Amino acid sequence: MVDVLTDDIARFVRTVGPDPDETLREMDDYADREGFPHVGPEVGAFLRFLARVTDAERIFEFGSGYGYSAYWMAEALPEDGEIVLTEVDADELELAREYMANGGYDDRARYERGDALETIEAYEGPFDVVLIDHQKHRYLEAFEAVRSKLPVGSVVVADNAITAGPIQFEKLSELVAGGDPGGVNDDTQGIAAYLECVGDDPDFETIVLPLGEGIAVSYRVS
């Protein structure tokens, strides 16, 4: 994980934010040990905050890994709420199930193995919070697939809006400013296309926050 914040600032944000429970600490340890690129506690806490302020009842994730972000948000759901986890890797999805069960959230989680873009077609809306955190070149497809299921007041969060392993930040910066740097890889182009789309959509207001590897937060206003 390439954190946008300096280590000191990230530590400060983490200290001021909510304390992770024992399961989340285990999940952080897993990410450190395995080198798994999870969103981290700063973004996790913010996602839970968004779920709370939107009074979220239903959440959908495009890419869930081993359930880290889902676990953070699940606590904000009512007992009859629902969070849909999607993951192509069977082992990661099973690990997510174990962690969610450890936290007592298994009853509000639905686990879908396979392509998230295919999974979303089987679900009717509305969704109050959506997290896009799968293949970067498919972010725009994800947004288009879920857009009609988003009511006014819902929020879409896209991870890696600033950086990640394959993201060429200088080229991304030039792209979003309207330039044409050339030699742009698919992941960087995908993030730029996504940001342009949500930024130009009159039904959404979008900001980018420098938490974790950068998150784009789009609020449906109409």
The answer to whether residue 25 is domain-embedded is yes
- The span from the first CA to the last CA of the chain, in angstroms, equals 35
Cis peptide before 126 (omega within 30 of 0): yes
The answer to whether residue 141 is domain-embedded is yes
The answer to whether residue 48 is domain-embedded is yes
Query: One digit per residue, pLDDT tens: the chain, 222 residues?
Result: 567 778 888 888 888 989 899 999 999 999 999 989 899 999 999 999 999 999 999 999 999 999 999 999 999 999 999 999 999 999 999 999 999 999 999 999 999 999 999 999 999 989 999 999 999 999 999 999 999 999 999 999 999 999 877 888 889 999 898 998 988 899 999 999 999 999 999 999 999 999 999 999 999 999
The answer to whether residue 2 is domain-embedded is no
DSSP state of 106: G
Torsion of CA 201, 3, 116, 147, to 10 degrees: -10
The answer to whether residue 127 is domain-embedded is yes
The answer to whether residue 203 is domain-embedded is yes
- Give how many domains the chain has, as a whole number: 1
Provide the domain limits for residue 204. 7-220
**CA-CA distance, 202 to 44, in Å (whole number)?**
28
Contact 118, 93 (CB under 8 A): no
The answer to whether residue 1 is domain-embedded is no
CATH of the domain at 156: 3.40.50.150
Is the entire prediction scored with pTM above 0.85? yes
The answer to whether residue 115 is domain-embedded is yes
